[in-house]
Structure 1
Amino acid sequence: MLDLIILAIVAVVIISKLFSILGRSDDDFAENNKMDPIIEQLYKKNAASREKVDIEIVSAIEAGLPQNIRDVFDNIRKKEPSFNADTFLKGAKAAFNIIIQAFAKNDKETLKNLLAPSVFKDFVSAIDARIAQKQVLEKMVVGINEIEITDADLSGDTATIAVKITSDQVTALKDYLGNVLDGNSSTAVTNQDLWIFTRNLRKDKVWFLTNTNST
């Protein structure tokens, strides 16, 4: 009988602790000066585990990169702790689609916000030449098959990252009558491009495209 009473008391204590924990955030735990020693120990252990997982996720993404690139990324994180390869590649992929579409649509304003001045000048020259000849460029990225970082550098506050992008694109240059001058509006062609993005980590909010090459 006494054993049952003891078990009942233990159960009540455990349940009361669980109810006190439910609905609280990690910050609530960290700020609770009266935290039960056992719960506090579990919290600290859990927090350490989460931090380790976060580090491992970043490491897993960058694990396949050459050591020199990983070293550059580590140095970038000293200036911008939130930087990681995964987020950068997602941004590069989005920029790739946006820039190609903007170029095809003669959207100079969008290009100006994403291109370095020298690259913007080249793009504008190509657009103006196309307009002068009354030509229309139809260009669409059907899919990006592969995107990978091939090089990286950090000079002062300026970071530079080279990205190789393999994509399937539909491209057709037409005259003002709709006749196809180059390309094919119904066939996707695999393209491989090397784009270089640069950003001043102190001043810039975006990575600017500073060079493009087709390989």
Structure 2
Amino acid sequence: MSGGFNILDIIILAVIAGFIFLRLRSVLGRRTGEERPPYDPYSGPSDQGDDNVVSLPQRDKAPQPEENEIDRFVQKGGEAGMQIARLQLADRTFIPGRFLDGAKAAYEMIVEAFAAGDKDTLRMLLTDDVFESFAAVIDDRAARGVSATSSIVDLRDATITGASVEGRMAEVTVRFTANMISFVENADGEIVEGSRTQIREVVDAWTFTRDIRASDPNWRLCATGEPDAD
């Protein structure tokens, strides 16, 4: 039948759409009461604070030895190593190296989606409560008639700084250090904040959560903030 889709085309498109949806759901939960949107270089001072199409971790293949070496992935000199060891006793699918790989991918996706005002992507990556706080900042930028751009030039470091298990729920906190370019344009395309060329360092502490008794292996972003001082 020329000029239209046949049934095979429709099936193929449905499979592709389903795959994309599942990947977007494989994302980084739970409200802690201290949520705030991620660092927003685009808004001036305000009363708000600063911040898988990823499956964390994968269950379908055995980990490499280095992926399970806790000391390679945790903050030195703290309790994170022991906390991760306790988490692994409760959730034997948790593999530190794979978790961090997924967390880094999620970090980049969320930062760039937040800057771009991409609510559809954020809604799939965040819990409802966290999404609402992100969306409020996006709506404020739209009301002021400005558009934002944020690009991660180099995600320099990602380190696990803490973990906990309470009942069914596990949480893992990651400290990210990234070099970014961020700027804001007004309706006339003029730069009103930031720079198209200046690279600045941003440090965030993000917490991811998961129901470890659920069949769903995906972690969700449940809190954002600044890391504790070293």
TM-score (normalised: structure 2)? 0.64
CA offset at residue 60 of structure 1? Answer: 5.2
1:146, CA displacement in angstroms?
1.4
Larger RCO (CA within 8 A; separation ≥ 6): 2
- Give the counterpart letter for 1:75 in structure 2: R
Instruction: Give per-residue Cα distances to partners, 1:150-191, cap 9 Å, x unaligned.
Output: 111111121111111111000001111111121111111011
> Relative to 1, partners in 2 of residues 1:214 and 1:181: Cα closer, same or farther, differing over 3 Å?
farther
2:222 maps to which residue?
A: 210
Q: What is the deviation of 1:55? A: 7.9
Deviation string for 1:99-142 (max 9, x for gaps)? 01111221112111221222110111111111222211011000
SS at 1:122 equivalent: helix
Give the number of equivalent residue pairs: 164
- Which residue does 1:44 correspond to in 2? none
**Residues 114, 206 of structure 1: 8 Å contact kept:** no
| Residue of 135, 140, 143 corresponding to 1:124 | 135
How large is the Cα RMSD of the aligned pairs?
2.5
Q: Matched residues in 2 for 1:63 and 1:147: separation?
A: 9
Q: Deviations over 1:38-78 (max 9, x none)?
A: xxxxxxxxxxxxx9x83895355357656743333333333
Residues 56, 139 of structure 1: CA spacing in aligned structure 2 closer, same or farther, 3 A cutoff? closer
Consecutive aligned runs of 4 or more in structure 1 exceeding 6 Å deviation: none
* Shift, 1:202, TM fit: 2.2
- How far apart, CA to CA, are the structure 2 residues paired with 1:201 and 1:124? 28
Amino acid paired to 2:217: K
Distance 1:57 1:125 in 2: 39
Shift of residue 80, structure 1, vs aligned partner: 3.1
Residue 170 of structure 2: SS of its match in structure 1?
Answer: strand
Are the counterparts in 1 of residues 74 and 161 from structure 2 also a CA contact under 8 Å? no
1:209 is matched by which residue type in structure 2?
A: L
> Which residue pairs with 1:198 in the alignment?
209
Q: Please tell me whether residue 102 in structure 1 is matched to residue 113 in structure 2.
A: yes
Segments of 5+ residues of structure 2 without an aligned counterpart are 1-61
For residues 202 and 81 of structure 2, the distance between their equivalents in structure 1, rounded to whole angstroms, comes to: 27
- Which one has a larger percent strand, Structure 1 or Structure 2? 1
Secondary structure class of the residue paired with 2:197: strand
The question of whether the paired residues in 2 share the 8 Å contact of 1:138 and 1:173 is answered with yes
8 Å CA contact retained: 2:165, 2:171: yes
Contact 1:73/1:84 (<8 A) preserved: no
With 153-162 and 53-62 compared, the bigger mean Cα shift is at 53-62
Residue type of the alignment partner of 2:219 = W
Quickly say closer, same or farther: Cα 1:56–1:195, change in 2 above 3 A: closer
Q: Does 1:144 find its partner at 2:118?
A: no
Q: Secondary structure at the match of 1:194?
A: strand
In the other structure, the counterpart of 1:61 is 72
1:174-193 to 2 correspondence within 5 Å? 174-193=185-204
**Higher normalized helix content (fraction of residues):** 1
| Larger Rg, first or second structure (1 or 2) | 1
| Unaligned residue ranges in structure 1 (runs of 5+) | 1-50
